[in-house]
Structure 1
Amino acid sequence: MKIECSSCHKKYNIPDEKLPKDKSISLKCPACQNLITINPPAQAPPINTLPEGEALKKAIVKGVKDLPPMPQVIHKARKVMADPNSSFQDLAIVLVTDQAIAAKVLKIANSPFYGLSGTVSTIQQASVVLGQKTLNEILTMASASQLLDKPMPGYGMDPGEFWRHSLLVAFGARIITGRAKPHLAEDAFAAGLTHDAGKMALEPYVAERKEMFRRLAARGMSFLEAEKTILGFDHCEIAGEVCKSWKMPENITTAIRFHHYPSKSDGDFLSYALHIADTLALNCSLDFSFDEVETSFEDGALEFLDLTQEEALKIEALMLESVQKTTETIQAE
């Protein structure tokens, strides 16, 4: 570094390696004894090498195919259940081809929630006793637990938190649709379980930028807004690609896509039901360590579903009760 004495204007050349990198020092000018203050060179701002905006979105969409697939046995079982000529025996034959799923189905069937504690020992028996609709719900839970019971460090969730939140939303969405549109109850349950599928795709990218998210959270910004600010889009936008990869029905995909802003869904009932259920689940104090989003309903959402605040709180209590009765027997192994 070249320096000049401000008094006698004599110039000196000091090797950079002999100067401290992060603090100022004062040296006496050998010629006139004047103090010369040397400040450290300004540090260049770090270059952001992380992709963002459209480039990042393309990379994430491309990587969706690397997410764990929905178990094939689920698609096969649903085809059997949709066939009016199929029997309980046909369904049992399909389910036992995946022993892990079959075992989980039996665990759930024997949980206190379904009131059959210890009485169901085979898939065929479960089919007969519970019926197709309930078995389809249990099958969805069994498969989803394998996909969702993972740690999500980017979103600050330990194993079990993401899964439990998803289960709460599933029960909530089913309760809400059961009041007004019972024919949508099964779809509502499936949508609830997978409503945050976009977070699974975003997780590694959020983890890379975790400090940026923390700074915005400290300013009071919701996580959803932070996603848009930092990434250029949110997990709802990515969820559509995940749903496509998992071959989810279009109505479920739509509900997941708009569950944070149902007013943009063109009046889709399932989107509103999912939004209310998700908001109630976030209010259930499940120790979410980082994803502390704004937990207020979108304007007009309760009115759209013809719900009052008091009714919403009753639904929240039912959600908690349902989860408490099932989680002890369906924790992913």
Structure 2
Amino acid sequence: MTQATQPRSTTISSIPPARRESLERLFARMEQVAALPGIAQRVLQLTDSEHVRADELREAIQNDPILVARILRRLNSSYYALSTKVTDLRTAISLLGFREIRNLAMTVCVSRMFETPGHHGTYRREALWEHSVAVGAAARLVARVCGRGVPEEAYIAGLLHDLGIILIDQSLRRHFCQVVSSVSPTVTTCEAENRILSFDHALLGGFVASKWNLAEPVIDAIAFHHTSGEYTGPHHDLVYVVAVANYLCSRAGWTSLGVHNVQSPPDSVYAGLGLDQISLAIIWDELEPTLERAESLATG
């Protein structure tokens, strides 16, 4: 994938102190935009617990009627293709389980960051959201086919992989427009960001995810989705899955900035996942219908 021009730590937790300090200052500037909704924090805490009860999760979510309505609408979309319509959270949790309802709640909460329209050049904020959901769905597919990692965790990491882009878009708009104007099929997003901002969206996204106290594998997958070949930490399965999913979605036309400028991960990443030509063909054949279903999840 794209190689950032700035040195990268082997995991997000090992960012050098000076670099971490600059990211802390940037996070403070964009704190309102970068705040994870309280309901999302609560859902994440509950679903990470081994002792959570279904009623606890249901009670946490039902305090936000809009969230409930949007979860149920997405649950009844073509993405899940359920045989009967689900009309209440209790049934939803019993049908899909904690992790899947967690994913739906996160999808709805994160979608709120994209509700205000925004565009510049080839970039549309709505298309970035569609790309994010697509990569989540594709990451789930890749994880399932190669048998590496937890598909539900792969979805969350894929959904949030471009978190840094929406934060830059909303907090550093003038610089973001310069980035969009600079990218091309031969100039990657990370290259443009590092030249204009001195950091890239992958590093920023991983840092913010760490501030949200997301799981370390998810944090590293966000931070290294453009430098997967350089990653030497313990969570390589998820890092590799998201990197492959991001490339495949961009290649299929589901791009983040309206330009396909994502390079394929190195051969070592495919080998690390045990992906050969046969398994890649299976993924590619299933990708289009998967992304079509994901569109209903993004727009639900």
Range class of TM-score, shorter chain: 0.7 to 0.9
Q: What is the CA distance between 1:273 and its match in structure 2?
A: 0.9
Q: 1:320 aligns with which of 263, 288, 291?
A: 288
Matches within 5 A, 1:136-285: 136-153=102-119, 156-181=122-147, 183-203=149-169, 207-209=173-175, 212-213=178-179, 216-217=182-183, 220-266=186-232, 268-285=236-253
Aligned to 2:68: 102
Distance verdict in 2 for CA 1:150–1:312, change over 3 Å: farther
Distance verdict in 2 for CA 1:152–1:277, change over 3 Å: farther
Residue type of the partner of 2:72? L
Residue type of the partner of 2:264? S
Structure ranking higher in helix proportion: 2
Contact kept in structure 2, 1:198 and 1:237, CA below 8 Å: yes
1:300 matches 2:268: yes
Q: What is the CA distance between 1:76 and its match in structure 2?
A: 2.1
Q: What is the CA distance between 1:221 and its match in structure 2?
A: 2.0
Aligned to 1:43: none
Any idea what SS the aligned residue of 2:124 has?
Answer: coil
Contact kept in structure 2, 1:198 and 1:236, CA below 8 Å: yes
The number of residue pairs the alignment matches comes to 280
Distance 2:184 2:94 in 1: 53
Distance 2:130 2:245 in 1: 13
TM-score using structure 2 length: 0.79
Distance 1:199 1:218 in 2: 16
Matches within 5 A, 1:50-61: 60-61=26-27
Q: What is the CA distance between 1:170 and its match in structure 2?
A: 0.8
Distance verdict in 2 for CA 1:153–1:56, change over 3 Å: farther
Aligned to 1:37: none
Which stretch of the first structure deviates more once superposed, 237-246 or 271-280?
A: 237-246
Distance 1:82 1:145 in 2: 22
1:75 matches 2:33: no
Q: What is the CA distance between 1:56 and its match in structure 2?
A: 8.0
Aligned to 1:41: none
Aligned to 1:90: 56
Distance verdict in 2 for CA 1:289–1:240, change over 3 Å: closer
1:127 matches 2:97: no
Distance verdict in 2 for CA 1:203–1:113, change over 3 Å: closer
Contact kept in structure 2, 1:196 and 1:239, CA below 8 Å: yes
Q: What is the CA distance between 1:60 and its match in structure 2?
A: 2.9
Contact kept in structure 1, 2:34 and 2:167, CA below 8 Å: no
Q: What is the CA distance between 1:192 and its match in structure 2?
A: 0.5
Q: What is the CA distance between 1:215 and its match in structure 2?
A: 6.7
Contact kept in structure 2, 1:149 and 1:162, CA below 8 Å: no
Stretches of structure 2 that go unaligned for 5 or more consecutive residues are: 1-18
Contact kept in structure 2, 1:279 and 1:295, CA below 8 Å: yes
What whole-Å deviation, never above 9, does each CA across 1:170-229 have from its counterpart, x for those lacking one? 112122223445552222111100001111222257642467546744693222212122
Residue type of the partner of 1:178? R
What whole-Å deviation, never above 9, does each CA across 1:230-270 have from its counterpart, x for those lacking one? 22221112123321332212221111111111122205221
Aligned to 1:12: none
**Rg: which structure is higher?**
1
* Higher normalized contact order (CA 8 Å, seq sep 6+, divided by chain length): 2
Q: What is the CA distance between 1:282 and its match in structure 2?
A: 0.4
Distance verdict in 2 for CA 1:87–1:55, change over 3 Å: closer
TM-score using structure 1 length: 0.72
Residue type of the partner of 1:244? S
What whole-Å deviation, never above 9, does each CA across 1:108-131 have from its counterpart, x for those lacking one? 221223232552111111112222
RMSD of aligned Cα (Å): 3.1
Distance 1:325 1:93 in 2: 29
